[in-house]
């Protein structure tokens, strides 16, 4: 054991000496940032929450690191949630090479290029796509980014989802920021391609298309299934207005055991898995307007409405809906999101957790949640 520690110590010293020699000519640049957020919610389907007048507590503490040395780049974000919400987790973290202003390579856990980016929504809850693993997701692989004369092209290969446990037969961890396939299936060998074009000066448009294809490895049958997703999106910026619209279709085809259903699949994040329909289409539309204030501590107010629906391509599965009306108050480093969230057959907005994104029931109506998120960003 002593020999092992001595070897590791010598290796560490050698690496440190090499880095000191390499960095002697030019010092790296680094920026440390982050955020601390708190959250209040009043949920009409929770009797205890209603009787208490809602609940207010800790949301997340996060650390962001952005560094560069010559043409080498590093970008990472680590988040600390409550243990019941998954605990600590890496949102993304990659090392890249900036060839020039037009070409970049990113290696590591980087954001999956898909749909309107960086987000297909304005509110705290994102759109339904997020809960299906199709918005603000990051996986482990290599991504190439090209930007020139209005064109955006991203091509990526992801070996697997983030936070992989290399032990044979171990299921995907529930402690993760973005939704990934879980249970007895794992995401593997995923390819992504996203192309978008920007034009206009007063009316700034973007239109784009995205494609994803990958494998689904089953731990029981040891067979490889498949999955795909396609999307087209459009965004518009005019004066203080912003519009986003997107259509997405996806299909998961796992190779489960004979006695297990294949019309649904397990997804997980924030410490709690649930089921989603294996084949569905989603429609999202977002509109927002920003009022500049610049009085006192208030810089701006952004009003928005984000609508999304999930049409399940399985007879007997009822569709899911989500509509968020709210505003963002910008006060220097402080951002406050005030959202009135309505959901039907949405697990985060109702008491049907495991079947809301699969069969659901026609008897269940809309649920509402008033949510206030307060964050200091540094």
Q: Is residue 198 part of a domain?
A: yes
For the ranges 4-8, 58-62, 250-254, 280-284, the lowest mean pLDDT is seen at 4-8
Residue range(s) defining the domain that contains residue 92: 28-377
Q: Is residue 292 part of a domain?
A: yes
pTM: 0.90
Question: Per-residue pLDDT for 21 more than 90?
Answer: no
What does the alpha-carbon distance between residue 134 and residue 127 come to, in Å, rounded to a whole number? 9
CA distance 340 to 320: 17
Does residue 182 fall inside a structural domain?
yes
What are the backbone dihedrals phi and psi of residue 85, each rounded to the nearest 5 degrees, phi first?
Answer: -105, 15
Residue 21 resides in a domain: no
- pLDDT tier at 2, thresholds 50, 70, 90: very low
pLDDT band at 13 (very low <50, low <70, confident <90, very high): low
What is the per-residue DSSP string for 169-182? TPPPPS--SS-EE-
CATH number, domain at 197? 2.40.160.10
Ranking 162-171, 233-242, 331-340 by mean pLDDT, the lowest is 162-171
pLDDT in tens, 87-139: 999 999 999 999 999 999 999 999 999 999 999 999 999 999 999 999 999 99
Q: What is the pLDDT of residues 35-49, one digit of tens each?
A: 999 999 999 999 999
Q: Residue 167: CB partners within 8 Å, gap ≥ 6?
A: none
**Residue 20 lies inside a defined structural domain of this protein:** no
Q: Is residue 56 part of a domain?
A: yes
Q: Is residue 6, in this structure, part of any structural domain at all?
A: no
Residue 9: per-residue pLDDT: 52
Q: Are strands 367-377 and 103-111 parallel, antiparallel or unpaired?
A: unpaired
Looking at residue 10, its pLDDT comes to 56
Is 203 part of a structural domain of the chain? yes
User: Where does the pLDDT of residue 360 fall: very low under 50, low under 70, confident under 90, or very high at 90 and above?
Assistant: very high
Looking at the chain, the whole-number percentage of residues with pLDDT higher than 90 is: 85
SS3 113: coil
Alpha carbon distance 322, 126 (integer Å): 10
Q: How many domains does the chain have?
A: 1
């Amino acid at each position: 054991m002593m020999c092992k520690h001595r070897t590791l110590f010598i290796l560490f010293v050698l690496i440190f000496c090499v880095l000191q020699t390499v960095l002697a000519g030019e010092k790296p640049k680094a920026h440390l940032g982050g955020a601390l957020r708190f959250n209040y919610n009043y949920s009409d389907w929770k009797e205890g929450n209603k009787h208490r007048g809602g609940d207010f507590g800790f949301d997340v503490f996060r650390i962001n690191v952005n560094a560069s040395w010559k043409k080498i780049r590093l970008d990472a974000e680590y988040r600390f949630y409550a243990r019941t919400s998954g605990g600590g987790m890496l949102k993304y973290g990659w090392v890249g090479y900036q060839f020039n202003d037009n070409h970049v390579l990113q290696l590591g856990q980087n954001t999956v290029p898909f749909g309107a980016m960086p987000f297909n929504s304005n509110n705290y809850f994102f759109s339904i796509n997020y809960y299906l693993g199709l918005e603000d997701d990051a996986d482990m692989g290599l991504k190439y980014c090209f930007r020139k004369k209005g064109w955006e092209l991203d091509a990526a290969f992801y070996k697997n989802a983030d936070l992989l446990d290399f032990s044979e037969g171990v299921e995907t961890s529930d402690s993760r920021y973005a939704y990934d396939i879980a249970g007895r299936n794992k995401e593997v060998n995923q390819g992504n391609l996203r192309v978008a074009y920007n034009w206009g000066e007063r009316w700034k448009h973007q239109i784009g298309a995205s494609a994803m294809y990958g494998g689904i490895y089953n731990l029981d049958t040891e067979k490889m299934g498949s999955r795909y997703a396609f999307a087209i999106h459009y965004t518009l910026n005019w004066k203080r207005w912003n519009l986003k619209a997107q259509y997405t279709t996806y299909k998961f085809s796992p190779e489960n055991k004979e006695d297990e259903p294949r019309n649904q699949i397990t997804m997980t994040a924030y410490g709690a898995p649930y089921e989603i329909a294996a084949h569905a289409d989603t429609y999202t539309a977002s509109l927002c307007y920003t009022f500049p204030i610049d009085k006192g501590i208030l810089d701006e107010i952004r009003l928005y409405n984000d609508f999304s629906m999930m049409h399940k391509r399985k007879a007997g599965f009822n569709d899911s809906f989500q509509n968020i009306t709210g505003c963002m108050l910008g006060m220097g480093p402080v951002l406050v999101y005030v959202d009135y969230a309505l959901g039907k057959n949405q697990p985060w907005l109702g008491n049907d957790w495991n079947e809301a994104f699969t069969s659901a029931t026609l008897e269940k109506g809309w649920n509402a949640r008033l949510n206030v998120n307060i964050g200091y960003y540094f």
